[in-house]
Amino acid sequence: MPKFASIVIAALAAVAPLAEAGNCTPGLKYCGHTLLAYGNYESRIYQALGHGPSSWNNEEQRSLFNCVGPNGEIQLERTCAKLCIDQGLGQSDKCWY
């Protein structure tokens, strides 16, 4: 039984960060596609871009946003010319020119 309890505790510890994920970290920069993966960012992205979906060029996915508030507020930094690259957890994303 102790082995089973250890497995359950380890599984819960692995899932806990996913449950907390949802807001960006203030001070970091995020690609639009990264924010969309967090969930609940679609309307914020369109608001920052100043328009709705742009299916013809995927602007919302290749734009770079600054996380400016503790509640997930974002501001558009730029739209990347080619790609926006996710740099991983705890790192600012960046444009590839």
pLDDT in tens, 21-74: 589 999 999 999 999 998 889 999 999 998 877 655 688 889 999 999 999 999
Is 46 inside any structural domain? Answer: yes
Closest CA to 62 of 39, 44, 79: 79
- Cα torsion angle, 31, 93, 76, 20, sign: positive
Is 59 inside any structural domain? Answer: yes
Number of domains observed in the structure of the chain: 1
Distance in angstroms (rounded) separating the CA atoms of residues 59 and 89: 23
Residue-wise pLDDT for 36-45, tens only, equals 998 889 999 9
The residue behind tokens 């080619």 is 82
SS3 content of the chain, % helix, strand, coil (to 5): 35, 20, 45
**Encoded tokens for 84:** 């926006």
Domain that holds residue 42: 22-96
